[in-house]
A and B are shown apart, each in its own frame.
Chain A
Amino acid sequence: MARANSRLLKTNTSDGDRMSDTTNSGPMLAADGTPLKTSLARALRRQKLRALMLIAPLLAFVVLTFVVPIGSMLFRSVENQIVSGTLPETVEALDAWHGQDDTLPDETVFQALFFDLFRAAEAKEHTKLGSRLNYERTGLSSMFRTTGRGIDDIGEVFQDWLEDADPAFKDGITWYEMLSGTGGEDLIQERRALWANMVGEGFAGDIGFTLSGEIAALLPQTAAAYSDWAIYTAVADEDVVSEEDPWEAVYAALALDLARPETAFALTSYTGVGARPLANAIAALPSLPQIDFRAAFIEENDGWGNIENWQTIKIYSPDYTTGYFLNAIDMEKGLEGVNARPENQQLYIKLFVRTMIMSLIITGSCIFLGYPVAWLLANLPVRSANVLMILVLLPFWTSLLVRTSAWKVLLQQQGVINDILVWLGFVDDANRLILMNNSTGTIIAMTHILLPFMILPLYSVMKTIPPSYLRAAKSLGATNWTAFWRVYFPQSVPGIGAGSILVFILAIGYYITPEIVGGTDGVFISNRIAYHISSSLNWGLAAALGSILLALVLALYWLYDRIVGIDNVKLGG
């Protein structure tokens, strides 16, 4: 800036020759011969750039460590990839099922569910899905857990059958040789992606197995199931694929493949590796146990026969859901649309309303207590005002935990206030006042904690009101009250506005104080958010509640900006 100026200065003084030049012929030139306009624009651009470069590190830091986390919270509140990630083929198969009439999904859905759930159970992901769906419908968690435990049994039937048909199937190497080959790389990639989606890791790396394209075309389900097993064995268990025996789902897949008439027909012309065991299995087809996955699942857990459980799975199968937000406002998603939750499960609207009402009460009491004090501070001589200001600033600077513990000491049933009241005889020893673990405690403690945030903006506004206005009003015949109400008060309203919005914003997001002195009646929505984060682990709902609260605060913030302006935020008087 300084350098640019000196150069411009030079244009006007020292460089006389060029100066006269420029005055004669068109645009004025700077010292280096460029037109003055360009030179100025360049200087301005450089100045802007320098300012931005100074700001950039902090801006990048804040964006990365604060804005992105907030964004990730917003994303979490709609994200719902767990259902389609864990049960990808079931979700696809469910597309055809509408769940309107009272029929359960058909056999194909249950078959897809078997393979999906088998993989999930091996990777221990089915319990996570169970807990997720349990938020929407109780009982689903245990349904997934028990079924995951017993799912091997469903496949074992087919394993026994195949091993009876040809003992070669007992041996892992038979499978390995039969399915090895080239041409099936695409399918392997596809199955890898499914695993990665479900477990959330890359699932990259060599698996020591390449799939035969020919077999993949002949026995598609077997190829898919075996690939799943091979990828998991090699990557997650870190075993050698050729040495291990496949899990039951692969047997079940082969049984399903063989049971299709066209497979049996196609296999007659197959001469590759494993043609003999396959031929033996075809021969044993008449003894194949009946394939009824639906019945098998219902036997494992009769929840699978309940149509409402299936409806829940279908409703929450898309990758993104409004379900968390609906839960956060006491609604729930049905197949036909949105319904209100049953009366006894409604909680959040009440909590939001309570948070708002209590924040309003706290703001009100802060105005009520803060206004006289701010008035006194603004009208005292500066020296005594500064001394009194310390009494406001000391609590402001004192740790929040200290003030909260102070109120816990004061408000308990055996606490200082009750002791004094009993001693004075106002309260009977047997009927001590319950000042804590209810909304009274929260309101008293939070009013105390937030009062400095009201006094400081009020004080800075009142400081600017000339005292002569009041005197003028009185000399014109106004009573004290009229002079205050008609002259002073209107001028102090911006201070009240600023303080109120500040206190209100702080109050609706408070967590620590309500948690300690609020009990169950005095807690805010933020306590519920913390509960979902740390205890119930329903993170999506916590994110949705947080997003709603954030929207509320941003609206208030916008209002604050309109009334006071962000630049006018002052700290510590």
Chain B
Amino acid sequence: MAQSLKLTLQRPSLWGFTAPLTAAVSAAFGYIAGTSFGNPLVGIVAGAVIGAVLAALLHPMAEKRMMARLGVIAIFFAAGLFATNLGGGIAAGLVGAVLSWFVFWIDTGDYRKGVPIYYTGGQTLWHNSFVFICGLIFFFLIAPLFPVMWLSFNAQDFFTFTPEMLAFDPEGYSLKHYRDFLTTDEWMQPLKNSLIIAPIATVISVSLGTLAAIGLSQSHVPGRQTIMAVLISPMIVPLIISATGMFFFYAPLGNWLELTLGLNKSFVGYVKVILAHAVLGVPFVIITVTATLVGFDRSLTRAAANMGANPVTTFFRVQMPLILPGVISGGLFAFITSFDEVVVVLFVGSAQQQTLPWQMFTGLREQISPTILAAATILVTISILLLTTVELLRRRSERLRGLSPS
């Protein structure tokens, strides 16, 4: 214990700790670089030597950390560029950034920052490995999205990286898949359908859902559990089952609407899909709005009534502004549910109601064009926007309700 305490007070030894560790990490990078040149063994040895030298060079420069790191990155980038191409340069620059960070992290004792001072070396190692493993899991969560975005700029019609792309050669890149997406009917019609169906479905589920959530939050509701179970059920029942049920029920319903009421076939198709999507969005609205209402102070409505406001005024002037964040984020959930839904629309809709996910699904099954990747990138952008909105709303709601600010 005393020994480890001492370790944190002074910087770890260069040749006994920092250099060997850096050499090991660097050797791993060397192995990868060596393989790409066809000689892993040389790569390992060269990597280890470079790592040790780097550690020795950077050791005295702890005060001017930023400068030193920029220098290392520049040297690595230049070396990579010289040896291969722009792609290699960027890769080498990244390796330089990682290595220089690693040297300082080890050398200045930063690696013990996250653990209590009394931790032994083994415990520190375990803690850092744990954080590293978590980092890998986060990588697993987020990384698959990047190749999609990258490949959507592919100049070729392939789902794989071309050598030009890896070399960051401008010739390997193009916006042609985006052009395809934005100019062909094959994609614009589904996008239009999605933008018709999702907002209408959202409006239905939000308006009915908010009313019902307010009703459910009253103090005396007979059969609350049962009602709640029924209202949540569209979320719990697997989509394939909902879709099967709707397939059986909506087909005769559509026929009836067409034959008895004489409605337009395409209009009926939209109505069917919108109704189906609206009901799928309901549970999300119920859950988010009920959650907002849990913290709602009932005395506010009473105070409003006391001052002479009628229930409708009370609702719009007092209750609504307070639960609005919950309503909006419920609405966003409902929107994304409809916008992202494919099984039900596949079963209930006809070709005229083809939505964006449906078109993507068909494309993926038959593997037609990388335009799918352009569509995917656009969708990722949309979801980032939605996520930001929801997050901001959540914070606003917490602030409004006086919960702990985070």
A437 to B346, CA, bound (A): 22
**CB atoms of B245 and A372 under 8 A apart:** no
Nearest B-chain residue to A572, judged by Cβ = B390
Contact flags B341-376 to A (C-beta < 8 A → 1, else 0) = 011001100000000010011001100000011001
Nearest B-chain residue to A2, judged by Cβ = B305
B151 at the interface (CB under 8 A from A): yes
**CB atoms of B284 and A409 under 8 A apart:** no
- A149-157, A291-299, A411-419 - the one binding chain B: A411-419
**CB atoms of A553 and B237 under 8 A apart:** yes
Q: Given A51-B221, A59-B230, decide whether A372 and B137 contact each other with a Cβ distance below 8 A.
A: yes
Which residues on A sit within 8 Å (CB–CB) of B282? Answer: 58, 61-62
Identify the interface centre among A2, A386, A451, A506: most chain B CB within 10 Å of its CB.
A2
A388 at the interface (CB under 8 A from B): yes
**CB atoms of B212 and A405 under 8 A apart:** no
Identify the interface centre among A6, A47, A51, A412: most chain B CB within 10 Å of its CB.
A51
**CB atoms of A397 and B383 under 8 A apart:** yes
Nearest A-chain residue to B114, judged by Cβ = A380
Q: Given A70-B242, A73-B244, decide whether A516 and B212 contact each other with a Cβ distance below 8 A.
A: no
A67 at the interface (CB under 8 A from B): yes
B265 at the interface (CB under 8 A from A): no
**CB atoms of B161 and A451 under 8 A apart:** no
- A108-116, A276-284, A563-571 - the one binding chain B: A563-571
A132 at the interface (CB under 8 A from B): no
Which residues on B sit within 8 Å (CB–CB) of A410? Answer: 144, 147
Identify the interface centre among B133, B230, B373: most chain A CB within 10 Å of its CB.
B230
Give the size category of B's interface with A: 35 or more
**CB atoms of A72 and B343 under 8 A apart:** no
- A325-333, A488-496, A507-515 - the one binding chain B: A507-515
**CB atoms of A55 and B147 under 8 A apart:** no
Which residues on A sit within 8 Å (CB–CB) of B35? Answer: 423-425
- B72 to chain A minimum Cβ distance, whole angstroms, is 24
B306 at the interface (CB under 8 A from A): yes
Q: Given A69-B250, A372-B130, decide whether A516 and B406 contact each other with a Cβ distance below 8 A.
A: no
- A123-131, A137-145, A175-183, A525-533 - the one binding chain B: A525-533
Which residues on B sit within 8 Å (CB–CB) of A433? Answer: none
A354 at the interface (CB under 8 A from B): no
Identify the interface centre among A48, A529, A530, A571: most chain B CB within 10 Å of its CB.
A571
A92 to B218, CA, bound (A): 58
- A22-30, A162-170, A206-214, A539-547 - the one binding chain B: A539-547
A317 to B384, CA, bound (A): 57
Cβ-defined partner of A401 (8 Å) among B123, B340, B384: B340
Which residues on B sit within 8 Å (CB–CB) of A192? Answer: none
Secondary structure at chain A's binding surface: helix, strand, loop or mixed?
A: helix
**CB atoms of B343 and A511 under 8 A apart:** yes
**CB atoms of A73 and B248 under 8 A apart:** yes
Nearest A-chain residue to B219, judged by Cβ = A47
**CB atoms of B221 and A415 under 8 A apart:** no
- B288 to chain A minimum Cβ distance, whole angstroms, is 6
- A444 to chain B minimum Cβ distance, whole angstroms, is 9
Which residues on A sit within 8 Å (CB–CB) of B383? Answer: 394, 397-399, 402
Q: Given A51-B218, A569-B232, A571-B288, decide whether A376 and B134 contact each other with a Cβ distance below 8 A.
A: yes
**CB atoms of B250 and A448 under 8 A apart:** no
A261 at the interface (CB under 8 A from B): no
Q: Which of B92-128 contact A (CB under 8 A)?
A: 123, 126
A539 to B248, CA, bound (A): 9
- A305 to chain B minimum Cβ distance, whole angstroms, is 37
Q: Given A402-B379, A409-B148, decide whether A66 and B212 contact each other with a Cβ distance below 8 A.
A: no
**CB atoms of B302 and A2 under 8 A apart:** yes
B386 at the interface (CB under 8 A from A): yes
Nearest B-chain residue to A570, judged by Cβ = B291
Which residues on B sit within 8 Å (CB–CB) of A512? Answer: 342-343, 361
A3 to B305, CA, bound (A): 8
**CB atoms of B376 and A399 under 8 A apart:** yes
A65 at the interface (CB under 8 A from B): yes
A506 to B291, CA, bound (A): 23
A50 at the interface (CB under 8 A from B): yes
Contact flags A338-349 to B (C-beta < 8 A → 1, else 0) = 000000000000
- A61 to chain B minimum Cβ distance, whole angstroms, is 6
Which residues on B sit within 8 Å (CB–CB) of A423? Answer: 35-36
- A476 to chain B minimum Cβ distance, whole angstroms, is 16
Q: Which of A531-562 contact B (CB under 8 A)?
A: 533-534, 539, 542-543, 546, 549-550, 553, 557
- B113 to chain A minimum Cβ distance, whole angstroms, is 13
Which residues on A sit within 8 Å (CB–CB) of B291? Answer: 570
**CB atoms of A509 and B239 under 8 A apart:** yes
A240 at the interface (CB under 8 A from B): no
**CB atoms of A549 and B241 under 8 A apart:** yes
Q: Given A66-B279, A570-B291, decide whether A44 and B379 contact each other with a Cβ distance below 8 A.
A: no
Q: Given A412-B159, A566-B232, decide whether A506 and B212 contact each other with a Cβ distance below 8 A.
A: no
Which residues on B sit within 8 Å (CB–CB) of A50? Answer: 215, 218
A406 at the interface (CB under 8 A from B): yes
Cβ-defined partner of A397 (8 Å) among B36, B147, B241, B386: B386
A373 at the interface (CB under 8 A from B): yes
A68 at the interface (CB under 8 A from B): yes
Q: Which of A1-27 contact B (CB under 8 A)?
A: 1-3, 5-6
Which residues on A sit within 8 Å (CB–CB) of B379? Answer: 398-399, 401-402
Which residues on B sit within 8 Å (CB–CB) of A382? Answer: 406
**CB atoms of A543 and B387 under 8 A apart:** no
A301 to B394, CA, bound (A): 71
Cβ-defined partner of A550 (8 Å) among B241, B275, B276, B343: B241
Q: Given A373-B134, A402-B380, A546-B241, decide whether A62 and B357 contact each other with a Cβ distance below 8 A.
A: no
**CB atoms of B221 and A55 under 8 A apart:** yes
A506 to B235, CA, bound (A): 10
B234 at the interface (CB under 8 A from A): yes
Cβ-defined partner of A509 (8 Å) among B32, B123, B238: B238
Identify the interface centre among B204, B208, B230, B244: most chain A CB within 10 Å of its CB.
B244
A266 at the interface (CB under 8 A from B): no
Which residues on B sit within 8 Å (CB–CB) of A353? Answer: none
**CB atoms of A391 and B159 under 8 A apart:** no
B231 at the interface (CB under 8 A from A): yes
A204 at the interface (CB under 8 A from B): no
Which residues on A sit within 8 Å (CB–CB) of B141? Answer: 391-392, 395, 448, 451-452
A63 to B233, CA, bound (A): 10
A53 at the interface (CB under 8 A from B): yes
Cβ-defined partner of B218 (8 Å) among A47, A67, A76, A451: A47
> Can you name 15 A-B pairs with beta carbons within 8 Å?
A58-B208, A58-B209, A59-B231, A69-B249, A373-B134, A400-B357, A402-B148, A403-B145, A404-B364, A405-B148, A512-B343, A516-B364, A534-B347, A550-B238, A571-B287
6 new A-B contacts at CB < 8 Å, known A65-B246, A395-B145: A2-B306, A58-B231, A69-B242, A373-B134, A399-B379, A416-B160
**5 closest A-B pairs (Cβ-Cβ)?**
A509-B238, A54-B215, A2-B305, A69-B249, A69-B245
Which B residues are closer than 8 A to A by beta carbons?
Answer: 32, 35-36, 40, 123, 126, 130-131, 133-134, 137-138, 140-142, 144-145, 147-148, 151, 159-161, 204, 208-209, 211-212, 214-216, 218-222, 225, 227-234, 236-242, 244-250, 275-276, 278-279, 282, 284, 286-288, 290-291, 301-302, 305-306, 329, 333, 336, 339-340, 342-343, 346-347, 357, 360-361, 364-365, 372-373, 376, 379-380, 383-384, 386-387, 390-391, 394, 406
